[in-house]
C-alpha cells in the first residue's frame, strides 16, 4: 500500500492491524529497535511471509506456494499453543447435502458423496491433496487449498486437519448381552448334565476342575468365533467433521 501512503491496512491482509489505538508498547519497541533492518539471503531481501498460527509447525515453501525457497524450511513452533488458544485448534462440520451443493456450483456432476479421503500429506501432516468418493464410486481429486476455498477459509482454517465421517451405515451386533447370558447359563447346565451322565463317582475337586476346563474350552471357542453383524441403513445424510490446528 506504499503508493497510498501507508504500509499496512486494518484487515486480515495486514494481520488485522487495528490502528494506533490498538498498538502495544512491546511491538512498538520491537519496531523502533529494528528500524532500517532487513532479513536477507545471499545478499537479497527474503520474502518474509507470515501466518496467524502455524498449528505447531511451519511448512516448506513448495508445499504452500509451489516454489522452493531455501530459507523457508519447516520448523517446529512451540509457542503458539500458549499465545493463541482461540485460533490454535478448531473444528467445523458440514453435511453431505450442503457439500454436494457447493460441488455442483463449481461444475462437478455429483448427486451424493460417499466419503472424503486425504491422499497426499506433507511431512508436517498437512493435507496437500484429497479425494471425494462420489456416486458410482467415481472420484473427484482436489488440492487442499482449493478445498479450503470451496468450504470457506474461515471454517477450514488451515490444511492441517483430520476428517471424520458420521455415516449412513451403523454396524450392530445381532447377539445382545441378555441373549449371551442366557446361552452361557444353558451351556453350563448342559456341561453339568454331560458330566453326571458318565455314571462315575466324582469328588467335589474333580467336578470343579472338570467344570473349569469346560468353561475355558467354551470361552476359547467364543473368542475364535466371528461375531455376526448386521448393517442398519439410515436415511440421515452423511456429516463430515473437520478437526484441525493452525490458522491462515
pTM exceeding the 0.85 threshold for the entire prediction:
no
Question: What whole-number distance in Å separates Cα of residue 200 and Cα of residue 73?
Answer: 81
Burial of 53 (0-12, 13-18, 19+ CB in 10 A): buried
Of residues 192, 170, 162, 137, the one with CA closest to residue 238? 170
- 3-state SS assignment for residue 20: helix
59 within 8 A of 124, measured Cβ to Cβ: yes
Query: DSSP letters along 46-72, please?
Result: ------SB-TTB---GGGTTSS--TT-
- 3-state SS assignment for residue 140: strand
Listed in sequence order, the DSSP H helices in the chain are 25-33, 80-83, 85-88, 96-105, 144-151, 177-196, 204-224
Domain residue ranges in the chain: 2-85, 88-170+234-245, 177-227
Question: What whole-number distance in Å separates Cα of residue 17 and Cα of residue 30?
Answer: 16
Helices 144-151, 96-105: axis angle to 10 degrees equals 110
99 within 8 A of 241, measured Cβ to Cβ: no
The per-residue pLDDT string of the chain (248 residues; one tens digit each, 9 = 90 and over) reads 778 887 766 666 776 777 888 888 998 999 999 999 999 999 999 999 888 888 889 999 999 888 999 999 999 988 777 766 667 899 999 999 999 999 999 999 999 998 999 999 999 999 999 999 998 889 999 999 999 999 999 999 999 999 999 876 544 445 444 445 545 544 555 555 555 556 566 666 766 776 777 667 766 665 555 445 444 455 567 899 999 998 87
Chain mean position to CA 174: 30
Question: What whole-number distance in Å separates Cα of residue 100 and Cα of residue 106?
Answer: 10
Amino acid at each position: 500500500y506504499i503508493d497510498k501512503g501507508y504500509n499496512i491496512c486494518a484487515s486480515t491482509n495486514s494481520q488485522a492491524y487495528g490502528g494506533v489505538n490498538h498498538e502495544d508498547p512491546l511491538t512498538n519497541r520491537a519496531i523502533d529497535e529494528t528500524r532500517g533492518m532487513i532479513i536477507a539471503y545471499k545478499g537479497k531481501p527474503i520474502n518474509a511471509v507470515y501466518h496467524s498460527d502455524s498449528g505447531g509447525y511451519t511448512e516448506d515453501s513448495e508445499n504452500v506456494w509451489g516454489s522452493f525457497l531455501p530459507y523457508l524450511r519447516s520448523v517446529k513452533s512451540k509457542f503458539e499453543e500458549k499465545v493463541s488458544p482461540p485460533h490454535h485448534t478448531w473444528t467445523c462440520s458440514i453435511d453431505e447435502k450442503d457439500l454436494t451443493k457447493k460441488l455442483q456450483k463449481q461444475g462437478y456432476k455429483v448427486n451424493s458423496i460417499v466419503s472424503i479421503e486425504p491422499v497426499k500429506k506433507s511431512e508436517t501432516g498437512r493435507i496437500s491433496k484429497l479425494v471425494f468418493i462420489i456416486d458410482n464410486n467415481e472420484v473427484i481429486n482436489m488440492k487442499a487449498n482449493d478445498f479450503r476455498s470451496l468450504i470457506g477459509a474461515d471454517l477450514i482454517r488451515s490444511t492441517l486437519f483430520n476428517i471424520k465421517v458420521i455415516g449412513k451405515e451403523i454396524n450392530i451386533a445381532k447377539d445382545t448381552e441378555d441373549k449371551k447370558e442366557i446361552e452361557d447359563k444353558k451351556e453350563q447346565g448342559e456341561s453339568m448334565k454331560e458330566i453326571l451322565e458318565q455314571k462315575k463317582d466324582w469328588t467335589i475337586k474333580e467336578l470343579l476342575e472338570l467344570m473349569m476346563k469346560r468353561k475355558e474350552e467354551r470361552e476359547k471357542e467364543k473368542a475364535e468365533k466371528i461375531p455376526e453383524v448386521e448393517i442398519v441403513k439410515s436415511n440421515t445424510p452423511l456429516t463430515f467433521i473437520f478437526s484441525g490446528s493452525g490458522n491462515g
